């Protein structure tokens, strides 16, 4: 699976944590509407070509990593409907091509 670029597992009642061991070639991750819990792993910030990330409607907790600003290829981000917190506007403003950013229904400070 070294050539895998896109993974979508939505509305599948997927439980557990997001793996810390992600294929570095991933450009698209969609885990919308599952039962994933825990924190967003820092390993996601290593995905230099990631342009789409949807972790909405899960049970993720903790702070939104400030290193999200390092994902310079990111265009679409949705972390809505979790229990995430952090003042992230400064970090997100560093992403040059970000066109969609949904952080609604969290505990974020703006």
What mean pLDDT comes out for the span 1-16?
A: 94
Q: How confident is the model at residue 5 (pLDDT cuts 50, 70, 90)?
A: very high
What is the rounded average pLDDT for all residues in the chain?
90
Per-residue CA distances from 68 to 44, 45, 101 (Å): 9, 6, 12
Is 2 buried (19+), middle (13-18) or exposed (0-12) by CB count in 10 A? exposed
Six-digit token string for 83: 């229990």
* Topology given in CATH for the domain delimited by 6-102: 3.80.10
Q: Is the dihedral of CA 99, 42, 57, 104 positive or negative?
A: negative
What mean pLDDT comes out for the span 28-54?
A: 96
Q: pTM for the complete prediction?
A: 0.91
CA proximity to 30, closest of 8, 49, 52, 50:
8
Assess whether pLDDT exceeds 70 at residue 9: yes
Assess whether pLDDT exceeds 80 at residue 36: yes
Strand partners, 35: 15
Q: How far apart (Å, rounded) are the C-alpha atoms in residues 24 and 46?
A: 7
Read off the pLDDT of residues 48-99 as tens digits, 9 standing for 90 and up. Answer: 999 999 999 999 999 888 888 889 999 999 999 999 987 666 677 788 999 9
* For the chain, the helix, strand and coil percentages under 3-state DSSP, each to the nearest 5: 15, 30, 60
């Amino acid at each position: 699976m070294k050539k895998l670029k896109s993974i979508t597992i939505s509305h599948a009642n997927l439980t557990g944590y997001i793996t810390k061991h992600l294929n570095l070639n991933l450009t698209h991750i969609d885990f919308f509407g599952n039962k994933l819990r825990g924190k967003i792993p820092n390993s996601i910030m290593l995905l230099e070509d990631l342009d789409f990330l949807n972790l909405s409607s899960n049970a993720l907790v903790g702070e939104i990593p400030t290193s999200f600003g390092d994902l310079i290829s990111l265009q679409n981000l949705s972390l809505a409907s979790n229990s995430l917190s952090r003042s992230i506007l400064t970090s997100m403003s560093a992403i040059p091509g970000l066109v969609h950013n949904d952080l609604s229904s969290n505990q974020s400070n703006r």
